[in-house]
Amino acid sequence: MLLLQLPEDVLYHILSYLDYRSLSRLSQVCRSLCRFVNRDAVWRRIAREFLNTGIRRDGTDIYPHIPLKERVKIAQNWRDGVCKRAILLKWKTKLLPWLQLDGDVLFLSQAADIGAYHLRQDSGRLQRNPFEIYSGHNGDVCHFVLTDSHLISGGSDGKILVHSRTSDVSVELSGHNQEVNCLDSKDGLIISGSRDRTTRIWTSTSNCPKDTIPMYDRVWSVAISPALSSFVTGTACCENFSPLRIWDVERLECVSSLGSEFRRGAGVLDMVFESPFQLFTCGYDTFIRLWDLRLSPRKCAMEWEEPHDSALYCIQTDGNHMIASGSSYYGVVRLWDKRQTECLQVHTDMYSVSQVECFTCGAIM
């Protein structure tokens, strides 16, 4: 019996025993096998084991328009550090911009404005001029977040601006009296943290804060749980309080403190939820930590140490095996495989002494 005469479910089972090299060779045998082997269903199991293929731990595919075989091919470049370096934008004034990638649009803050640039699919480069500019701050933009309908920014003037992405309407939220260091927003809920040592809770239907939580320390990072029932704050750790605390959204009470025996000044600069129970954090103490909120809050589930003792300003994950971190010196970005303790790849700009304040991970192609 010919291989292609087998029932499809049997053929899928046979192919599940092959690695990516064997599948690639098999696809070269004939056109019929090539068409079958190139199906996403054949490559899904393999894609889940590679870095940044767009397959999350829960099986969600965030890039369904890109064939999985092609994504596995590109993922080997992530693993091996094969990449092209390019300068997308230049500006004369030294700035530390915040940026977010949404599909093929890059949002980038420059001083008091946020520009939206189209990313060209053919070359991977940005258009020279932004097609949209969001403004209104009297000082530099410190942080902004994107939702499906709004761009929400916090500035050094203490203001929060909620810009509509479909019209010219913007709403000003006033409450902080110093710069807004961090923001997060989900499902109409906005959480902000400031140098004025407060965290404020807002709703999209009011320009006044719903509640204010005194933190007694500068707030560097916030993150709302995907379950929307709680949020986490990260502070400067300059007072006698844990820098990582979990708050109930409804009761606005601290329900848990994460970790113990933090050194003074071990502030938490960035955090990201990967699921309602998994939280990644990084900061001045040079560690990336994974917290499993179902386990004991006193000890993290896993940790990775920056080998050159540099503060870590920002982190991103691919939702599966990869972590990317930005360091405080020489523009260093490190790629980590969660299944390993050592750093996987290092990307650096030796001509720069600036820290990596922010980066964004988008489509792999």
- Write down the pLDDT at residue 361: 62
At 89-108, the pLDDT tens digits run 877 777 778 889 898 899 99
Q: Decide: residue 56, CB within 10 A, 0-12 exposed, 13-18 middle, 19+ buried.
A: middle
Longest dimension (CA), the chain: 77
SS3 164: strand
> In this predicted model, which residue has the larger pLDDT, 22 or 355?
22
Please compute the mean of the pLDDT values over residues 305-320 and round it to a whole number.
92
Q: Which long-range contacts (CB under 8 A, 24 or more apart) does 174-177 make?
A: 174/207, 175/200, 175/202, 175/208, 175/209, 175/212, 176/200
Considering the segment(s) 92-214 as one domain, its CATH architecture is 7 Propeller (2.130)
Asked if the domains 92-214 and 218-364 are classified in one and the same CATH topology, the answer is yes
Please compute the mean of the pLDDT values over residues 144-156 and round it to a whole number.
95
Topology of the domain covering 218-364 = Methylamine Dehydrogenase; Chain H (2.130.10)
Angle among Cα 253, 257, 262 to the nearest 5 degrees reads 145
The reported pTM is 0.90
Counting DSSP H helices and E strands in the chain, the numbers are: 5, 24
Distance (Å, whole) CA 179 – CA 193: 9
Q: What contacts 90, CB < 8 A, 6 or more positions away?
A: none
Distance (Å, whole) CA 84 – CA 5: 43
- Write down the pLDDT at residue 353: 55
CB 119, CB 104: distance < 8 Å: yes
Token pair, residue 207, equals 């320009």
Q: Does position 356 have pLDDT exceeding 80, yes or no?
A: no
At 207-258, the pLDDT tens digits run 889 999 999 999 999 999 999 999 999 999 998 788 999 999 999 999 999 9
- Write down the pLDDT at residue 91: 77
- Write down the pLDDT at residue 127: 82
Residue-range domain boundaries for the chain: 8-80, 92-214, 218-364
On the CB side of 333, CA atoms within 13 Å amount to 18
